[in-house]
Structure 1
């Protein structure tokens, strides 16, 4: 027969509680041990400090030049003297220049003979293809109208070939193409108003330079009167690649 255990005397019944209490106590003691501070005690002699000399402070003295106060303001007494008018001034009456319906307007009849008409000569610009008498290039004198026109075109082509020079800048950049040049031969036979259009300004400048070297010619005529003549010329800039 096994003896029965009394539950009041069971040792392991509150073991967890005891373990928790013991753990907290140990943690508290460990914390206090770590926080405990110790100091080295040394003998310190406290003497009596006697101040025999007073500290003298250097005081910076700044001298300010104060100007004397300004003098009191001078009071000026104004004396007013009343003078009687001696001269009589005449008032200028300005009359109104506005008109009304009662005033009549003088009618003025202008005769036709009083009107002077001035004739203004206007220079007409005629294209080369429709001009009656084309400009005469030097060396084309004494020919018929048809021959003068053909001679003019031939001389222009010879002039371009003679003065043609391919710009070196255009060669370096590989620029080529067709430049259309338009110029005017005025009533004095002088080449003016040169304009050009092409693929690049370098070629346009060269074409304008060539046309600017054209000589003075006999002016073209329309109905027997010297007029301006417009002429268009294409110039081809092309180089052969080696």
Structure 2
């Protein structure tokens, strides 16, 4: 059987040549695309034409400032006539306080200077003669006796406030007072955790008896004293 197609019309003939030519054309276009350059448009006009010649401009002349003339010199002062004061001035005579040999010198007797009664506070720990608590007059160590009698007084008069017991309040109240120069108790100060405990501590100190005042260098002085009162629930 004979073929129907013409052997000259075979499309596969020379296909390799066409492929190479096509590849060459594509590579050439890619190369031209990479090497293509563009430039900005540059103005061709002359820049110097827009610059005006500043030398041709006329510069105005500066007006001359006229300074005012200096002021005239001041007139010469008038001659002042000195008029003598006709009033007479009395001279003050200062007498000398120095004594002459003829005057007698009176001797002044020695004047006794009374010492001012200055109020001072001498702490209990350093005072020479401590205040004497009633009952300690014959004690050899009045300082130790004073502290012992203070403890007995607190224990004897101690009473725990009922409202503080119900509330479960307890603690220590620091009390400070002053034994005055007449032996009385004054200037009572206190500080504690509860006002009911403070009131009880104040009541105990106010019941202290009158004492023999403390002395410093033989003179009665005020003596500050502090003591803690402990309130503790059993």
Cα distance in 2, alignment partners of residues 231 and 131 from structure 1: 11
How far off is 1:169 after superposition? 1.2
Pair 1:138 & 2:109 matched: no
How far off is 1:232 after superposition? 0.5
Q: Note the aligned Cα RMSD (angstroms).
A: 2.7
Pair 1:229 & 2:229 matched: no
Gaps of 5+ in 1: 1-101, 108-112
Residue of structure 1 aligned with 2:199, choices 200, 205, 214: 205
SS for the counterpart of 2:153 is helix
Cα distance in 2, alignment partners of residues 105 and 200 from structure 1: 79
Residue 171 to residue 118, structure 1, CA distance change in 2 (3 Å): same
Pair 1:190 & 2:187 matched: no
Cα distance in 2, alignment partners of residues 128 and 192 from structure 1: 15
Aligned to 2:124: 128
Q: Please give the per-residue CA displacement for 1:92-143, whole angstroms capped at 9, x wherever unaligned.
A: xxxxxxxxxx9x9999xxxxx9xxx986422111111011110001111123
Aligned to 1:83: none
Residue 193 to residue 106, structure 1, CA distance change in 2 (3 Å): farther
- The list of structure 1 runs, each at least 4 consecutive aligned residues, that deviate by more than 3 angstroms after superposition, is 104-107, 117-120
Q: Please give the per-residue CA displacement for 1:1-60, whole angstroms capped at 9, x wherever unaligned.
A: xxxxxxxxxxxxxxxxxxxxxxxxxxxxxxxxxxxxxxxxxxxxxxxxxxxxxxxxxxxx
Aligned to 1:90: none
Gaps of 5+ in 2: 1-88, 95-107
Residue 160 to residue 106, structure 1, CA distance change in 2 (3 Å): farther
Q: TM-score, normalised by structure 2?
A: 0.51
Q: TM-score, normalised by structure 1?
A: 0.49
Instruction: Give the stretch that moved more between structures: 152-161 or 117-126.
Output: 117-126
Pair 1:215 & 2:194 matched: no
How many pairs does the alignment contain? 131
Aligned to 1:148: 142
Cα distance in 2, alignment partners of residues 127 and 121 from structure 1: 18
